[in-house]
């Protein structure tokens, strides 16, 4: 594929707009507005004078300023719920903006378009966490109930994701929690057609298939992974094939290709087939919801099919750029969304990479190209690298594709006849079993998933430049061999620099200092002790379990990986309360842990003394928290007393 800006004019526009969105936190709206005005005047003047190159530069600068303005938070309305004094307990009335999201058996998240707080009219969107087994709720339904309102907050750990800041940028500075028995449904609205279709598909699948296979098929068709057992979900992640459970371009391409091929073979004409495929793609998008990966795939699919209608060639990169522009113009905060970044990076990698010919080698090339493109993003957000993924995809992707096509056919038939749908679903079951078996086998390969520190921005920059130079090396090897040799040498140098910077946290020698870090995990404790000799002990792992966010997996593990810690010398919980011990299961699953803290004896790590203190007598009427272990940490003249909940 030959690249030139005239062939992909939307690509620099999308990059400029995205740069502006990314810089919105550092640019005042007033300054950005001045930049827009100035670049508009200068750009028009230069265009009149025939100075196309500087005029284009002005256009890109102005578009970046527009992106910064679009992404900047705007003042809240006077009646916005975010202007309430919180914390507070109040009766809130509103309408569900989306379908409920079930995180656990007794924890559900809903998004409420607020109408009233108490007797006062209010506006704004409110994230609500419901505790208990939630009743059937649907998008568009009016509900009311007593809720605890409080400011949106996140864990304030260096380098960690700040959920509170994310919500504030989305215009939701207040969140709420409520018991389901305090929530009342005020109406029973007629379900929207897309909700009816989604629920009917789930019900048809659940009637015929066993629970695990039904949950897997729902993930393939609808991106609904709520009922997927944790061990199956984790297996797909470790095997590097988790993307098949996220509705994306894979599904859209299958649907568009199937509809277009069937109608073309039926001699309906390419234009009729293209129109039908566009309708099918748009209908699918409305059913599954506006996820970034879906919107990207739909825009690109419509562009390609539209080119068929107009009998013209379509640029895939132009479609990718147009999709990015449209999504960021409507939802600029999606730029920071991992799904957005992974979807666009993977697609760009596949489009730009020189792929080998042949079914097997071509498929392997697609998988490797996507993996190389998303590698820094996956490490930045998830600290993980799948080593088995490119190979596992060779078997899983064809099975997932066939299962998706047969599954869509099955649920379509089930809308008209349950028996007919059941026949297709029964035939589909062996495919799902084979996919699970293959995923389980791949996930059990030693080293299938490797956890690494999140790369520094300098490593990401060097890596990105290295990939671009590697593309130049390949594309110029025949037309410009001298350029190709220089590009190849520079690419290798940049990639070596990227790997060196990225690996430094793992290989740097201990600095001889004691570090004791108390992490923010909300209610509860999580303390990391890093000894001068490099060994690490964790005291308490924060909350976890079905009713709470698992801070062992979401906070502690990323913190340890980012500091180059891949194994623990010890893990101790001061007592069994969930806010101290809940996250320990995740640490035991992800880390090799020594047994130095098995007994009450003093332990030594590089000159650091860790001494458990236990009470000999228990006072009458003492609380359970009074039984918690207390630790004294000594290093030279410095001492710490870790008192747990006593």
The CATH architecture annotation of domain 81-190 reads Beta Barrel (2.40)
Distance CA 246, CA 225 (A): 9
pLDDT at 598: 46
Buried b / exposed e along 468-505 (16+ C-beta atoms within 10 A): ebbbbbebbeeeeeeebeebbebbeebbebbeebbeeb
pLDDT at 589: 87
pLDDT at 470: 92
Q: Where are the domains of the chain?
A: 10-71, 81-190, 195-240+372-452, 247-352, 457-507, 515-642
What's the start-to-end Cα distance of the chain, in Å?
67
Structure tokens at 85: 């004094």
Residue 6's pLDDT band (boundaries 50, 70, 90)?
A: low
pLDDT over 90 at 625, yes or no: no
C-alpha separations of 216 from 91, 94, 256, 436, 548 in Å: 39, 33, 22, 9, 24
C-alpha separations of 180 from 93, 112, 151, 186, 193 in Å: 14, 14, 21, 14, 26
pLDDT at 595: 62
pLDDT at 597: 55
Who wins on pLDDT, 465 or 160? 465
Task: Give pLDDT tens digits for 404-413.
Answer: 888 888 888 8
Task: Give pLDDT tens digits for 92-134.
Answer: 999 998 888 877 767 889 999 999 999 999 999 999 999 888 7
The answer to whether 229 and 448 have CB atoms below 8 angstroms apart is no
Q: What is the average per-residue pLDDT within 294-308?
A: 77
Only one residue has tokens 């990479």, namely 353
Structure tokens at 299: 């825009």
Distance CA 331, CA 292 (A): 9
The answer to whether 601 and 546 have CB atoms below 8 angstroms apart is no
CA nearest neighbour of 262 among 370, 412, 139: 412
What SS3 state is found at 89? strand
pLDDT at 344: 87
What SS3 state is found at 131? strand
The residues with which 175 forms a beta bridge, in sequence order, are: 150
Distance CA 29, CA 72 (A): 7
Among 250-254, 262-266, 460-464, 630-634, the minimum mean pLDDT is found in 250-254
Which segments of 49-192 does DSSP mark as H helices, in order? 52-71, 163-169
Distance CA 526, CA 203 (A): 42
What SS3 state is found at 564? coil
* Residue % of the chain over a pLDDT of 70: 93
Only one residue has tokens 């994701």, namely 161
pLDDT at 18: 94
Only one residue has tokens 């992106």, namely 67
Task: Give pLDDT tens digits for 16-54.
Answer: 999 999 998 888 888 999 999 999 888 888 888 888 888
pLDDT over 90 at 500, yes or no: yes
User: Which pTM does this prediction carry?
Assistant: 0.84
Task: Give pLDDT tens digits for 320-342.
Answer: 888 889 889 988 988 988 888 88
Q: Could you confirm whether domain 515-642 is CATH 3.60.15.10? A: yes
pLDDT at 353: 86
Spatial CB neighbours of 562, under 8 Å, sequence gap ≥ 6: 159, 383, 453, 454, 505
pLDDT at 583: 87
Among 261-275, 373-387, 418-432, the minimum mean pLDDT is found in 261-275
Who wins on pLDDT, 134 or 451? 451
pLDDT at 445: 92
The answer to whether 618 and 627 have CB atoms below 8 angstroms apart is yes
Only one residue has tokens 């990076």, namely 345
What SS3 state is found at 241? coil
Distance CA 591, CA 597 (A): 16
Dihedral angle computed from the Cα positions of residues 503, 504, 506 and 511, in that order, rounded to the nearest 10 degrees = 180
Distance CA 622, CA 639 (A): 27
Structure tokens at 616: 């000999």
Q: Which of 272-276, 490-494, 613-617 has the highest mean pLDDT?
A: 490-494
The answer to whether 258 and 462 have CB atoms below 8 angstroms apart is no
Residue 618's pLDDT band (boundaries 50, 70, 90)?
A: low
CA nearest neighbour of 242 among 397, 432, 403: 397
pLDDT over 70 at 313, yes or no: no
Q: Is 637 exposed, middle or buried (0-12, 13-18, 19+ CB in 10 A)?
A: exposed
pLDDT at 626: 61
Structure tokens at 534: 């490099």
Give one DSSP letter per residue of 416-462, joined into a string: T-HHHHHHHHHHHHHHHHHHHHHHHHHHTSTTSEEE-PPPPHHHHHH
Give one DSSP letter per residue of 355-376, joined into a string: PPSSHHHHHHHHHHHHHHHHHH
Give one DSSP letter per residue of 568-624, joined into a string: ESEEE-SS--HHHHTTHHHHHHHSEE--TTSSSS-EEETTEEEEEE--SSPPTT--G
pLDDT at 465: 95
Who wins on pLDDT, 436 or 361? 436
pLDDT over 90 at 466, yes or no: yes
Radius of gyration over alpha carbons of the chain, in Å?
28
What SS3 state is found at 628? coil
Query: Which is it for the CA torsion 579, 101, 291, 415, positive or negative?
Result: positive
Query: Which is it for the CA torsion 389, 394, 397, 403, positive or negative?
Result: negative
Who wins on pLDDT, 438 or 197? 438
Q: What single-letter DSSP state applies at residue 556?
A: I
What SS3 state is found at 240? coil
Please provide the average confidence, as pLDDT, over all residues in the chain. 85
Question: Is the peptide bond preceding residue 43 cis, with omega within 30 degrees of 0?
Answer: no
* Residue % of the chain over a pLDDT of 90: 29
pLDDT over 60 at 77, yes or no: yes
Task: Tell me how far apart the 2 most distant CA atoms of the chain are, in Å.
Answer: 91
Q: What is the average per-residue pLDDT within 270-282?
A: 83
pLDDT at 622: 55
Among 287-291, 414-418, 449-453, 507-511, the minimum mean pLDDT is found in 287-291
Task: Give pLDDT tens digits for 582-610.
Answer: 888 889 888 988 765 545 667 788 888 88
């Amino acid at each position: 594929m030959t690249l030139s800006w005239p062939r992909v004019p939307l690509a620099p526009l999308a990059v400029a707009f995205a740069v502006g969105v990314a810089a919105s936190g550092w640019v005042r709206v007033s300054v950005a507005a001045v930049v827009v005005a100035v670049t508009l005047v200068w750009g028009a003047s230069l265009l009149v004078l025939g100075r196309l190159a500087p005029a284009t530069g002005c256009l890109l600068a102005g578009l970046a300023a527009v992106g910064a303005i679009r992404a900047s938070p705007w003042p809240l309305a006077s009646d916005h719920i975010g202007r309430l004094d919180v914390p507070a307990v109040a009766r809130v009335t509103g309408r569900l903006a989306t379908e409920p999201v079930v995180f656990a058996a007794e924890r559900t998240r809903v998004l409420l378009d607020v109408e009233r707080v108490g007797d006062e009219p209010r506006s704004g969107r409110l994230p609500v966490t419901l505790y208990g087994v939630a009743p059937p709720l649907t998008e568009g339904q009016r509900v009311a109930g007593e809720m605890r309102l409080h400011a949106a907050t996140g864990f304030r750990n260096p380098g960690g994701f700040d959920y509170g800041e994310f919500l504030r940028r989305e215009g939701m500075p207040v969140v709420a929690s409520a018991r389901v028995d305090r929530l009342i449904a005020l109406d029973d609205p007629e379900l929207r057609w897309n909700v009816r279709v989604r629920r009917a598909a789930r019900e048809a699948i659940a009637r015929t298939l066993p629970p695990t296979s039904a949950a897997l098929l729902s993930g393939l068709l609808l991106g609904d992974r709520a009922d997927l057992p944790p061990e199956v979900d984790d297996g797909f992640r470790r095997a590097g094939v988790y993307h098949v459970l996220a509705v994306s371009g894979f599904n859209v391409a299958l649907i568009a290709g199937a509809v277009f091929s069937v109608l073309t073979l039926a001699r309906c004409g390419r234009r009729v087939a293209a129109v039908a495929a566009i309708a099918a793609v748009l209908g699918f998008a409305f059913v599954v919801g506006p996820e970034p990966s879906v919107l990207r795939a739909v825009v690109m699919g419509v562009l390609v099919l539209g080119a068929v209608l107009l009998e013209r060639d379509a640029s895939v990169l132009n479609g990718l750029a147009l999709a990015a522009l449209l999504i960021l113009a409507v939802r600029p905060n999606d730029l920071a969304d991992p799904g957005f970044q992974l979807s666009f990076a993977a697609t760009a990698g596949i489009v730009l990479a020189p792929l080998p010919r042949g079914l097997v080698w071509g498929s392997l090339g697609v998988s490797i190209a996507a993996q190389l493109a998303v590698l820094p993003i996956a490490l930045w957000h998830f600290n993980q690298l799948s080593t088995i993924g490119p190979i596992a995809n060779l078997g899983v992707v064809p099975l997932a594709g066939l299962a998706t096509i047969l599954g869509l056919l099955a649920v379509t038939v089930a809308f008209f006849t349950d028996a007919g749908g059941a026949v297709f679903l029964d035939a589909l079951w062996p495919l799902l079993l084979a996919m699970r078996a293959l995923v389980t086998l791949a996930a059990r390969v030693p080293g299938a998933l490797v956890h690494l520190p999140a790369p520094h921005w300098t490593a990401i920059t060097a890596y990105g430049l290295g990939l671009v130079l590697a593309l130049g090396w390949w594309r110029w090897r025949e037309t410009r061999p001298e350029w190709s040799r220089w590009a190849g040498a520079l690419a290798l140098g940049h990639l070596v620099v990227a790997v060196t910077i990225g690996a430094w946290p793992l290989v740097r020698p201990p600095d001889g200092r004691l570090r004791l870090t108390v992490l923010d995990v909300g209610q509860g404790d999580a303390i990391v002790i890093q000894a001068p000799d490099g060994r690490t002990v964790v005291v308490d792992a924060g909350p976890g379990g079905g009713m709470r966010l698992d801070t062992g997996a979401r906070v502690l593990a990323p913190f340890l990986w980012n500091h180059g810690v891949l194994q623990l010398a010890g893990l101790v919980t001061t007592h069994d309360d969930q806010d101290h011990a809940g996250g320990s299961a995740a640490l035991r699953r992800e880390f090799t842990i020594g047994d130095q803290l098995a007994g009450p004896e003093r332990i030594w790590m590089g000159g650091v003394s860790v001494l458990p203190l236990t009470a000999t007598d228990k006072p009458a009427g003492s609380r359970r928290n009074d039984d918690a272990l207390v630790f004294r940490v000594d290093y030279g003249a410095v001492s710490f007393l870790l008192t747990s909940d006593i």
